[in-house]
Structure 1
Amino acid sequence: MIINDKIQSSSCLQHCSSVENSGSKGYVQLGKLILPLANLSLPISEILEQAYLEEGDILFCAGTLIEGQGNLCSDLDVYVITNQLRQARSISISRHHRVLTESRDIVRADECTTDPVRLIHTTIPGRATKIDIEFRTFAEVVNLYASIRDIYEYAAHNLILLTKRVSERDESFIHRLQNSVCLHGHVGYDSLLAELPKEQYRYLGYRWVASDFSVLLDIAGAVSSNDWLRAVDLSRENLIAQTSGYMRAQGLTNFRRKWVSYYAKQYLSEDLVQEFHHLYLLQRVNATPSACQAFVQRSLDFVDRIFERTHPVLQQQTAFPSGEEARKELDTAQGNRNDLYSTLEYEYRKKAYGEAIRPTADFEIFEWLSLA
């Protein structure tokens, strides 16, 4: 059970999840939070003061400045886990850049309401960095963890389609919790980390993007109508999504698309990184049909390689359906359906489970590639 401990003075010792005290990452030293990439040294007492802490609260800092990949324009993300959200009338509105309620309404300085506050943004004088504080209740975190477990139970027994998911804000929270520095409420913080269903969430992260057959149909449709610009655009996005899925299966928890290229060099082998960058940057692609056709085919071949590399990763995770077990599950789901759509969908989804009968570019829906 997630617990919250009594209010206590923040320790000057490092208390964090996976963030290490090294190089450009954020760390605690002598009562200050040091953010090398923003060239900032923030007194912990001032951060706590901005958060309107109550007894039993947990406060941790996260984001790119903590992880060591931010810059002078990055925000510091602060999370307060509490029993109940603050009321707007309890916040000194004029002290902050912006205060937003749970319904995302901006609170004005002359307003005195009981609306629950979800976010507080505070600027740092003379800097492009601001402090973003988000409040969450213990009950909300418990419900989020329960939702992850419920979706996982569904996903593990339904390998075709997974549309159930958590919100993008919840995804950011889960990633940041696992890459954070705790400044207050260390016992409760450790409990938050311990009770997070990490392996189930890793599987969901993979499934939310993996082997999306509908996207493959969109690519084929664009090719068939000679809409080459759209075919290239869709192929590039599919390349990014499936590469993200492969990295998520390995443990990547940052699901935001804008960071895929950053993490590629950490999770992909050297040969895959080079090819990914080549395709990601659309090298040797111009507006001619032949160049676009070549790009579509190269991207499909690359995704096939990603599926091939994903297969052993899935098998290493006990919480992941994989290999022969997953293929049998898909065979059962397919049943006696042998129409072209069903046949190709199941063939495509089996690739990540170790059954690659032929290149995706050879699917019947891509016969127009050879005619372009």
Structure 2
Amino acid sequence: MTILDKYNEILASPQNIIQELWGDKNIFGEPIIYLAGSLAEGFGNDNSDIDIYCLINPEQWNQLVERKENDSRGLKIWEKNHLIHNIYVDGYRMDIEFWNIDYVNNIVCNLNKFDFNADQYTTRFSKEDLDFLHRIKFGKCISNKKLFDKLYMGINFSNLGFYQVITGSEYFGSYLEDIEGAMESEDFGTTYIIGKILLDISISNFLFSVQETNPSAKWLYRKLQRYEDNIQDYSISEVYWSYQKFDRSKDNILKFVNALIESCTSINNKAQENLVKHQRGNEHVGQ
């Protein structure tokens, strides 16, 4: 049985994995449990693991901590409001994340009320928060579907994409300054490396603006591919692949990077146009 077969088996008959997670389920009330990650999103492969999320009430949190402290299996990563437990179940690798539902409700509230027209953006989300918010977007509930649906329907996922545009644009501006400094100092190798980073950032910003919100850089191509399949716009990938090979001479690096900066700026401007439309309450532009 492949990992995808196991994933589909859990979706169809989740009772065994729920028993594995909780034992006596009544100890923890009725947690929200759902599958997420690359398999749920359609990006996974035979080497993927199965990501399981469990959202529990704060009054059960201490009981969870005590139980996991006495569980010698696998690797545990402890955070203040969530716990990651990496274990093998029936020979399959599983990443199980336990989150305090009060903390989840807090980050959802902050996302929903985020002010895109503020002079300064004081509300910030951690990398873990953004990953959680994206993953629940593709979550497949296996326990407590009524509460899962209520939580899901209350999340403004459009705000998630445009928040990522804002933070990505901050990185874009910073790397643009860095590449200009490298060019002025004739550090052409660094100029080239920063240029490639700038290309990834600009494409990511555009994809965030059209609601491809997966924050992981490793899935850039798959996000771009999905956008193309949906919109039939292949211009971004044509730009991306056109900058993957070149002659490394000094003159060619300068020519390459100047053209790259122009292309990156154009792509990033599309993301900014979509952000402005969101700020005004209008639909984003696809191209």
Task: Give the equivalent residue in structure 1 for 2:67.
Answer: 90
CA–CA distance in 1 between the matches of 2:275 and 2:199?
19
Task: Give the equivalent residue in structure 1 for 2:111.
Answer: 148
TM-score normalised by length of structure 1: 0.65
Amino acid in the other structure paired with 1:98:
L
TM-score normalised by length of structure 2: 0.82
Equivalent position SS for 2:168: coil
Task: Give the equivalent residue in structure 1 for 2:166.
Answer: 207
Q: 1:306 aligns with which of 261, 267, 274?
A: 267
Displacement of 1:210: 1.9
Which string of whole-angstrom CA distances, capped at 9 and with x for unpartnered residues, describes residues 110-163 of structure 1?
A: xxxxxx97122221444xx4111111122101211233245x22x4222xx757
Aligned ranges 1:82-161 → 2 under 5 Å: 82-84=56-58, 85=61, 86-91=63-68, 93-94=71-72, 96-102=73-79, 118-126=83-91, 129-149=92-112, 152-153=114-115, 155-158=116-119
Unaligned runs of 5+ in 2: none
Task: Give the equivalent residue in structure 2 for 1:275.
Answer: 239
CA contact (8 A) 1:209 1:241 kept: yes
Larger of the two Rg values belongs to structure: 1
Task: Give the equivalent residue in structure 1 for 2:253.
Answer: 292
CA–CA distance in 2 between the matches of 1:144 and 1:308?
28
Displacement of 1:241: 0.7
Amino acid in the other structure paired with 1:47:
I
Cα 1:167–1:99 change in 2 (3 A) is same
CA–CA distance in 2 between the matches of 1:37 and 1:236?
37
Amino acid in the other structure paired with 2:78:
T
Cα 1:186–1:40 change in 2 (3 A) is closer
Aligned ranges 1:1-372 → 2 under 5 Å: 36=4, 41-42=9-10, 43-52=13-22, 53=25, 54-84=28-58, 85=61, 86-91=63-68, 93-94=71-72, 96-102=73-79, 118-126=83-91, 129-149=92-112, 152-153=114-115, 155-158=116-119, 162=121, 164-210=123-169, 212-267=172-227, 269-279=233-243, 282-286=244-248, 288-310=249-271, 313-314=274-275, 316-317=277-278
CA–CA distance in 1 between the matches of 2:267 and 2:157?
23
Cα 1:100–1:225 change in 2 (3 A) is closer
CA–CA distance in 1 between the matches of 2:176 and 2:79?
38
CA contact (8 A) 2:178 2:194 kept: yes
CA contact (8 A) 1:59 1:80 kept: yes
Which string of whole-angstrom CA distances, capped at 9 and with x for unpartnered residues, describes residues 167-192 of structure 1?
A: 11111111110101100011110111
Decide which structure has greater helix share.
2
CA contact (8 A) 1:242 1:303 kept: yes
Displacement of 1:38: 6.9
CA–CA distance in 2 between the matches of 1:202 and 1:60?
22
CA-atom RMSD, angstroms? Answer: 2.9
CA–CA distance in 2 between the matches of 1:320 and 1:213?
25
CA–CA distance in 2 between the matches of 1:202 and 1:173?
13
Unaligned runs of 5+ in 1: 1-33, 104-115, 324-351, 353-372
Displacement of 1:249: 0.7
